Amino acid sequence: MTEEQVILTVRTYIEKQFPKECKNCGYRYGSLKEYLQKTTHIGEPHSYDAEFEDWQPRKPLGTYSFADCKCGNTLVIGSSRMKVATMLCLLWWAKKEKAKRGITINELLTDLRKKIDAQVLSEGR
């Protein structure tokens, strides 16, 4: 996979998680763009499989990104329902890419999130 394919795959998967509702205040985020505009990221995205250096898990634990809702509740976007084959391709790419760039997996995931966020927020201005 190329970085562009990874970004497209991840973005497409994330966008299918919308609309998304805060279970605390009931606010409904109609799209990924609205979610990015009205929430604040908390820390770096985190891959539990990569943390355990399990690059070919039978049952992936997943990758998650956390954000604060306007009410202060923590919201999560994750890969828990992604097809295992897709997740394995992404993990394999991430393993190779982090080694190639000489960075941590969290730095790689943060870079990808920034690129996806920039794409989404720049559209439809």
Q: What is the pLDDT along the chain (125 residues), one digit of tens a residue?
A: 999 999 999 999 999 999 999 999 999 999 999 999 999 999 999 999 998 888 999 899 999 999 999 999 999 999 989 999 999 999 999 999 999 999 999 999 999 999 999 999 999 75
pTM of the model: 0.92
For 16, the token pair is 């299918």
Closest by CA to 5, choosing from 99, 118, 94, is: 94
The pLDDT assigned to 125 comes to 58
| Token pair of 40 as six digits | 């604040």
pLDDT, position 53: 87
- How far apart (Å, rounded) are the C-alpha atoms in residues 56 and 87? 9
Q: Which token pair is 68?
A: 């604060």
Count of beta carbons in the 10 Å neighbourhood of residue 24: 12
Give the residues across from 11 on adjacent strands: none
Long-range contacts of the stretch 80-83 (C-beta < 8 A, 24+): 82/13
- Beta-bridge partners for 41: 67
* CB neighbourhood size of 1 (10 A): 16
What pLDDT, on the 0 to 100 scale, is given for residue 124? 75
pLDDT attached to residue 54: 87
| SS3 state of residue 115 | helix
